[in-house]
Structure 1
Amino acid sequence: MGRNLFSLPVQIVLAIAVSVVLVASPLYPILSPSYPGRLYELEGFPPSDRFSTPERTRLASTIWRFCRGAIPYADLTAMATDSGETALLPSEAQHLEDVRLVVRAFTRAHVAGLILAVLGAVLLWRRQRRQLVWALRAGVLLAVGILALIAISALVDFDTFFTAFHGLFFVEGTWTFRYTDTLIQLYPLPFWTTAVLHYALLIGALSAATLGLAGGLQRVDAQEHR
């Protein structure tokens, strides 16, 4: 009885931690400074009306570095186009500061999730390995549920999904810009539809790997109890 009382909270925390790790991990490759340039080179990706592909890549890469905390706000606001003009409007720079705060929150959640997942896995591995397998699979189910919600919402009406997503994290009116503004020129709608697709595929791949790990642990436990 005492062991069950101990393991149940650990299982729940581990399942939640695993789902957080699975949901947050794909943000790292998508927020890689090289990611926008790769998308711009895809066949059929819409060109910018204002920027050449190299200039577009440079600006977008710098913004991604800022969002990841690699450069300060002063460097972002000082960023210039190839013609020497200030690249971002004050409203655009402020929105990117808001984005950086959201990215920072996801990063901290990811680190916390990793720590809790490792601790939970160690505790359950020592005491109840079957519960460890259950928690891993439950975490995958949570992550896949989030993935399904994202995928269905995006497929039904991506514009509505995009608006709802921004409304969840940003104050209304702070993230809408004109078509000719730099952020829209760098990140048109096809950029985000492709990014969401890549995000979903990465969650799927990580979830499959976690299920594989759970299956392997289950086999190890079964062999030791023969």
Structure 2
Amino acid sequence: MKFFLTLSNKLIIAASPFIFLMAVVVSVFTPAFIWIEYQRPGFPPDEFGFSTEERLRYGIHSVNYVTSLRNLSLAELTGPDSEPLYRESELSHMADVRTVFQSARWALAGLIALTVVQFALTWRRPAAFRDLLYALRTGALASIVVYSLLMILSLTIFDQVFYSFHQLFFAEGSWLFYTSDALIRLFPKQLWVDAFIVAGVAALALAVLFYFLFRAFAKRAAIPPVSGKTSLNAVRSSSRPDGAASFKR
């Protein structure tokens, strides 16, 4: 049991940046975010003619395809000219995006379940529970460092960050499209810049919040190390006529 708990704590620390960020991505990458982006002042219009209403219809359906647990289809979407909205290469990339997103969401669910199991196994074991809280606190602190670095990079060299992200998760060249392709027209660079900023700030704020929460809980749950514990019955003094203390073990 001790080995399992120790290994789980290390996994929680290592996975914390992913946990906070993916929790935010699942919450942010929704039709509501697309609606806000398309409607906000300053968002670039489609230079090839999609209206805001068309963008909303196509964009929301595309987001639902990626995030929904239902088996939706993009192949049935047609543009204003009644031709298929997406080319085969775009459909292939969107299928890859859906696979990555769904896999990441299941991984998030598994890590959250692991953390819940950890709480269930340790909440009556003070030392083990303290170790779990310390692991959660350390993971939150690591997340703060990672997100701060990513925010700096995203604000200074966004193109390189975006390129590296796609290189990591997708096959070479499978995510490169023409500016006239529907995928770029619906999800232009500005949308991704905004998404990175929103997700980064929200994940950073979440990590900071949980860092202070876990730190406070860890302090309350702190106990002396085993070697330094003193039994309540270890030392007892009683009054003696000469004022000396007697010791009973």
Query: Measured at CA, do residues 71 and 122 of structure 1 come closer, stay the same or move farther in structure 2, by a change above 3 Å?
Result: closer
**Distance in 2, Cα, partners of 1:29 & 1:6:** 31
Unaligned runs of 5+ in 1: none
Query: Is 1:147 matched with 2:114?
Result: no
Which residue of structure 1 lines up, in the alignment, with residue 54 of structure 2?
A: 55
Unaligned runs of 5+ in 2: 224-249
**Distance in 1, Cα, partners of 2:74 & 2:146:** 33
* Equivalent residues in 2 for 1:1-226, closer than 5 Å: 7-49=5-47, 50-72=49-71, 75-127=73-125, 128=127, 129-221=129-221
Amino acid corresponding to residue 133 of structure 2 in structure 1: V
**Distance in 2, Cα, partners of 1:148 & 1:124:** 32
Amino acid corresponding to residue 68 of structure 1 in structure 2: T
Query: Measured at CA, do residues 63 and 14 of structure 1 come closer, stay the same or move farther in structure 2, by a change above 3 Å?
Result: same
Which range moved further: 53-62 or 5-14?
5-14
Query: Measured at CA, do residues 218 and 58 of structure 1 come closer, stay the same or move farther in structure 2, by a change above 3 Å?
Result: same
Query: Measured at CA, do residues 201 and 160 of structure 1 come closer, stay the same or move farther in structure 2, by a change above 3 Å?
Result: same
Q: Do the aligned residues in 1 keep the contact of 2:130 with 2:222 (CA within 8 Å)?
A: no
Deviations 1:121-177 (A, max 9, x none): 333332223322211111112322331342232123111111111111111111111
Q: Do the aligned residues in 2 keep the contact of 1:140 with 1:211 (CA within 8 Å)?
A: yes
Q: 3-state DSSP class of the match of 2:172?
A: coil
Q: Do the aligned residues in 1 keep the contact of 2:20 with 2:203 (CA within 8 Å)?
A: yes
Q: 3-state DSSP class of the match of 1:26?
A: helix
Which range moved further: 26-35 or 87-96?
26-35
Of structures 1 and 2, the one scoring higher in RCO (CA 8 A, sep 6+) is 1
Q: TM-score, normalised by structure 1?
A: 0.87
Runs of 4+ in 1 over 4 A off after TM superposition: none
Bigger helix fraction: 1
**Distance in 2, Cα, partners of 1:83 & 1:8:** 60
**Distance in 2, Cα, partners of 1:196 & 1:95:** 20
**Distance in 1, Cα, partners of 2:26 & 2:214:** 24
Q: Do the aligned residues in 2 keep the contact of 1:80 with 1:87 (CA within 8 Å)?
A: yes
Q: Greater Rg, structure 1 or structure 2?
A: 2
Amino acid corresponding to residue 177 of structure 1 in structure 2: F
| Cα shift at 1:71 | 4.7
Query: Measured at CA, do residues 164 and 19 of structure 1 come closer, stay the same or move farther in structure 2, by a change above 3 Å?
Result: closer
| Cα shift at 1:62 | 0.5
Q: Do the aligned residues in 2 keep the contact of 1:125 with 1:132 (CA within 8 Å)?
A: no
**Distance in 1, Cα, partners of 2:141 & 2:182:** 39
Root-mean-square deviation over aligned CA pairs: 2.2
| Cα shift at 1:219 | 5.0
Deviations 1:151-206 (A, max 9, x none): 23212311111111111111111111111110111111110110000111111122
| Cα shift at 1:7 | 4.9
Amino acid corresponding to residue 108 of structure 2 in structure 1: H
**Distance in 2, Cα, partners of 1:147 & 1:213:** 18
The total of aligned residue pairs comes to 220
| Cα shift at 1:40 | 1.0
**Distance in 2, Cα, partners of 1:124 & 1:17:** 20
Of all paired residues, the percent bearing the same amino acid is: 29
**Distance in 2, Cα, partners of 1:180 & 1:95:** 16
